[in-house]
Structure 1
């Protein structure tokens, strides 16, 4: 509570100080949403990549966010070809230990959190049809987003355009994959709109991996004149059923990478998701120097998943069964005040804000059998109401205090509260109700030097934290009853040295040296019988270098390159598994390759011929904490060819794409610490995709 009072006092003092400053200087009006500031990314003392979303230009169907992240350094996005487990996403090694969904990285869609207060997020409802850009913030300043912010990924929908524009596209290709998308955007006076719907289905590269997904996204903007601007955002996701092919052992993957293990068929492992959410953003500027912004959102998400937990394991009275049934209501508010002024005759921008998020989840578990019939919903084995909420005040200050120097500072105090109410009490399974609260104050500081118009140098430092998610609190490491409320949040200290160079108007080279030291990181204590428990370990470190290059080669040729080298290590030894095995200090953190990157070279424009080539390379990764095995690295090549035809009032864009051109047999992703040794998820061999898009 002392830390909370300190943060509140600091915010109040900054507010009082800035209210007396003269406001005769206006900063640039380029908005950088990921940093909450109206300054160009080039002038930020932080690693921030802004990527224009146009997956159809490269012959991609626009199904997964990874399609838009080519050339972004620090980011490892893996399409698992398993829509029951969502895409894997990690930044500089943060988030790599997640076996499903996204953890350790904050996600936002149009400013609305796609990460719950406990730190677990999903990418499945991100709409690339409606998107204009993706912003990826890495390094110390991501800590300003609170819990589990090892990095920040934000997708932003485009505003309505004049004249109105409507697109419809059909993509079809290997593995009986098909995607149909329709989007329209326009403006009428003070009103603009962007609407998009899509349908995707696939038989899957691997056996037992069929999936179908429908999604919709709407962004409505209202210019209220002197009263401000209102933006409404709605989206929906329906994943009626996605089969889960599970992972394979090394032997299985070598024998037949397309197979699924027998238990996937025995239990018919699968998942269904239905989500609907909406949000509103109101922005009001009473004068040229002041702006208020208030965001509110609410959503509902239902998940049903059948797992392959063995029947024998469910004889344990503490086992939660093999069918997961979650009903979640979530929502929140974020309000902030921005003031542009001058201090000591130099431009200054101040942001003060308060964020609140709430998640209420009804969690039920059932046996995945009834008698001798497997893969059905059986007896109830878990029934609880879980709630987590946070209340975070924050402040940021940007000061261009000299011609060649600028300062960016911030602080956020987070209070995250967990509460569980157990309604399933049976012999051998007592009342597991309980609660726990975590708090942390996370300061950040960055300094930038500008020797000239084309060059920037910067240094930054920040502290972050990550609480356990409800999934990680689910079981105690000692095997006893109740949730693992003894787990502590991980704390990290991140530092970064970077340089940004623009030798010409259409060229930019960014490089950064980074290091993140963590303590109390979560690691697997035991994983067996469908129960994964965790423990805090001593220290760990992620350090490395990244670089990105974007440029125009002339004659309509363009290049984008992103490369990352990261050393991710446990610095303290710890015990894992049953029987316990010692993981020695210096072992690699699983799921993190030391080297990875992507390159795209393309030529052409909207009309006429368009062509491109891509390379994606990933080094070997350890599959578990013990470093018992490694998935080999790979380099994949993709090529695409397109042609745009002007039909007067309409345009037709045709495309063809080949991925994994040389038909390499590779492990595309790993399931970290999988209890049965089924770590490996093979990537597709050579595959093709044909597309046709009509633009009205």
Structure 2
């Protein structure tokens, strides 16, 4: 017995230290306040996961050194290495709290927002999911200077500082990138409606011309980013709502030895608020990310989108007052609608050539089948295109001054076979004309950044731009004779110079002078009734801007503001002929002066309390935009307000988060009266728009998370039009938006 007792004691003494040694502990705290954070998910690559308790403590039994991934809704995801038996404290940073921590890639280089010498708005993933998740419209409209319009479900139009003047439909005069890929076609149009908001995790928006490094587009640049795969997961979502809204999504993300794979499918349908305004969209996305070596990264994607939506058409004032849900007479009979099937293939290669040189090259190939029966005609198009962008970055010193030099180029080409027919009760009738359309654009760019001191950064950039289109009319029913026309635009030099000065660790000022240009699109030169206007000239403009960014009260209060003056020459505007066809012309010049401001304040940030966070935000835009030297039929319209632009726009937001997972998002927007005609004889009335979403996020066991949500759009039941038809023939200006409507849904996520 004594020997047995002795052996047992020795065995316990031997084993006990090994168990004690194997236990590893992380104490997770807020980086600013030092308070413990509960509810942080800590996961190991083998699938093991745990959650921090009220003291912010997470415990693992590790057999070897492991990489731990930390994630929390209110904090930036992080990773760390944890050894067997190790105990450490890790501080997590709040999401986009400090301006110095908000990194943006504007003008081709990653820097903190505090050091950016431009007006840049960042759309976070949380912004996209404050609303009903059916479109990106509401998220973009919370930012100053940006107006995202939806004339009917799926029919988008984007105005950045009034840039939608020449866009009766579709996205024009704004350059758009998707994961570094040029997403805007070489003819200047962007089919943004083929994307679901789940195809991105956010965006950066440059307001004003950025042609020195991004080419054509006076409105600005929108660059959509992609979500990185942090861990293996599977996701299922479903939602429904008013007017027959249905949406579901399935997705899977898988980490590999040297990268990751992901796939998602989204289906969205609705009957629409108005007659003949149904939408049906399916989007499949397959992505891969690989690291062949420590110095290389490859990203590739396949995107297929099948989009259909009906076009109810504009109403005049009497029809709008009588029944805003009705469609324009004839729209349903003629089956006015859009059918569009698009396939994208992309490849992005990033390579650190040396300690100083790096390169990123992006390539894409694309094909689209497009069908558009309308009240007056029937259009069919088949397009294929390709393009790419490359840039070389050098980080070096010029004497004692750190410098960064960027050189690169971009090229795009598209070939479109387009036919226009008569429309007989929604079916293609006799052909009117048929064209083969070729569009190409390219530019070279150079940019130099010099850090004159630790707080002063100067940026100088220049691009050389080239563009051409050719129209080969193979069928012309009016003359019976084929012909070819084309236009090569003169090379355009687009310069920019900017300076950013950091006043202290939490505030900075900037100033910039930037040039911009925007050639007419083929849709503006070649219109639906068959005419070709080769005399339409590109817009040219210069933007002068100064701004301030700062943070106060331990970074809980964040302020941004900018003043700008944009002078635009050869402004392209719309008008409508007697048949209701939208045509385009150059209309002299415009003077666009404005002020934009954004304020965010964290009233409560207490991770350990029941009420973890309470944030309010304000965004305000004042746009004093006027025509200059503009004559229409002998009438002097100089001094009139710019068509389609509200002078004032105010957005207020409130976000609440609790430790139990309950959350609330409330948004209120006031939009000033909008001029609907160049002569300022008709205005849309001001309107108040309120949206509310509430939800509950919780965890089920160690691997599952669940979210239930519900919301109300247009809470005040306001009567308004979100995307008017400007200078419309017959007074058909109004595209009524939905009355008060409801939605709700469930999300499940499995981390494995």
TM-score by length of 1: 0.88
Number of aligned residue pairs: 641
The equivalent of 2:744 in structure 1 is 690
The equivalent of 1:515 in structure 2 is 565
Separation in structure 2 between the aligned mates of residue 432 and residue 506 of structure 1, nearest angstrom? 65
What is the CA-CA distance between 1:427 and the residue it aligns to? 5.0
Q: Tell me the SS of whatever aligns to 2:320.
A: helix
1:245-269: per-residue Cα shift (whole Å, max 9, x none)?
1011111111111111221123121
The equivalent of 2:535 in structure 1 is 486
1:427-467: per-residue Cα shift (whole Å, max 9, x none)?
53544421111131100010112221111111101111011
Alignment of 1:42 onto 2:99: no
Separation in structure 1 between the aligned mates of residue 637 and residue 654 of structure 2, nearest angstrom? 43
Tell whether the 8 Å contact from 2:114 to 2:502 is kept in structure 1 after alignment.
no
Q: After superposing the two structures, state which structure 1 stretch, 518-527 or 617-626, moved more.
A: 518-527
The change in CA–CA distance for 1:200 and 1:382 in structure 2 (over 3 A counts) is: same
Q: Tell me the SS of whatever aligns to 1:486.
A: coil
Tell whether the 8 Å contact from 2:123 to 2:139 is kept in structure 1 after alignment.
yes
What is the CA-CA distance between 1:144 and the residue it aligns to? 2.7
The change in CA–CA distance for 1:565 and 1:432 in structure 2 (over 3 A counts) is: farther
Q: Aligned to 1:598, which of 651, 654, 667?
A: 651
1:641-668: per-residue Cα shift (whole Å, max 9, x none)?
1112221121111111011112122222
The equivalent of 2:31 in structure 1 is none
Tell whether the 8 Å contact from 2:168 to 2:574 is kept in structure 1 after alignment.
no
Alignment of 1:387 onto 2:438: yes
5 Å-filtered alignment, 1:143-222, equals 143-162=212-231, 164-222=232-290
Q: Tell me the SS of whatever aligns to 2:243.
A: helix
Alignment of 1:82 onto 2:135: no
Separation in structure 2 between the aligned mates of residue 529 and residue 581 of structure 1, nearest angstrom? 22
Alignment of 1:229 onto 2:229: no
Separation in structure 1 between the aligned mates of residue 602 and residue 480 of structure 2, nearest angstrom? 64
What is the CA-CA distance between 1:598 and the residue it aligns to? 2.1
Higher relative contact order (Cα pairs below 8 Å, separated by 6+ residues): 1
Alignment of 1:465 onto 2:514: no
Separation in structure 2 between the aligned mates of residue 357 and residue 451 of structure 1, nearest angstrom? 41
Separation in structure 2 between the aligned mates of residue 669 and residue 251 of structure 1, nearest angstrom? 18
Gaps of 5+ in 2: 1-99, 606-612
The change in CA–CA distance for 1:524 and 1:69 in structure 2 (over 3 A counts) is: closer
Separation in structure 1 between the aligned mates of residue 235 and residue 482 of structure 2, nearest angstrom? 55
Tell whether the 8 Å contact from 1:61 to 1:179 is kept in structure 2 after alignment.
no
The equivalent of 2:97 in structure 1 is none
What is the CA-CA distance between 1:202 and the residue it aligns to? 0.3
Separation in structure 2 between the aligned mates of residue 42 and residue 428 of structure 1, nearest angstrom? 60
The equivalent of 2:474 in structure 1 is 423
Separation in structure 2 between the aligned mates of residue 276 and residue 42 of structure 1, nearest angstrom? 38
Separation in structure 1 between the aligned mates of residue 267 and residue 672 of structure 2, nearest angstrom? 34
Separation in structure 1 between the aligned mates of residue 216 and residue 237 of structure 2, nearest angstrom? 38
The equivalent of 1:361 in structure 2 is 416
Alignment of 1:299 onto 2:366: yes
Alignment of 1:414 onto 2:433: no
Tell whether the 8 Å contact from 1:329 to 1:359 is kept in structure 2 after alignment.
yes
The change in CA–CA distance for 1:499 and 1:49 in structure 2 (over 3 A counts) is: same
The change in CA–CA distance for 1:213 and 1:526 in structure 2 (over 3 A counts) is: closer
The equivalent of 2:379 in structure 1 is 324
What is the CA-CA distance between 1:146 and the residue it aligns to? 1.0
5 Å-filtered alignment, 1:245-324, equals 245-309=312-376, 322-324=377-379
Separation in structure 1 between the aligned mates of residue 391 and residue 128 of structure 2, nearest angstrom? 36
1:369-412: per-residue Cα shift (whole Å, max 9, x none)?
2xxxx221101111111111012100111111113311011111
RMSD over aligned Cα atoms? 2.1
What is the CA-CA distance between 1:673 and the residue it aligns to? 2.3
What is the CA-CA distance between 1:609 and the residue it aligns to? 1.1
What is the CA-CA distance between 1:193 and the residue it aligns to? 2.7
Separation in structure 2 between the aligned mates of residue 678 and residue 432 of structure 1, nearest angstrom? 35
TM-score by length of 2: 0.82
The equivalent of 2:78 in structure 1 is none
The change in CA–CA distance for 1:526 and 1:635 in structure 2 (over 3 A counts) is: closer
5 Å-filtered alignment, 1:521-600, equals 521-524=571-574, 526-555=576-605, 556-575=613-632, 580=633, 582-600=635-653
Gaps of 5+ in 1: 1-27, 310-321
Larger radius of gyration: 2
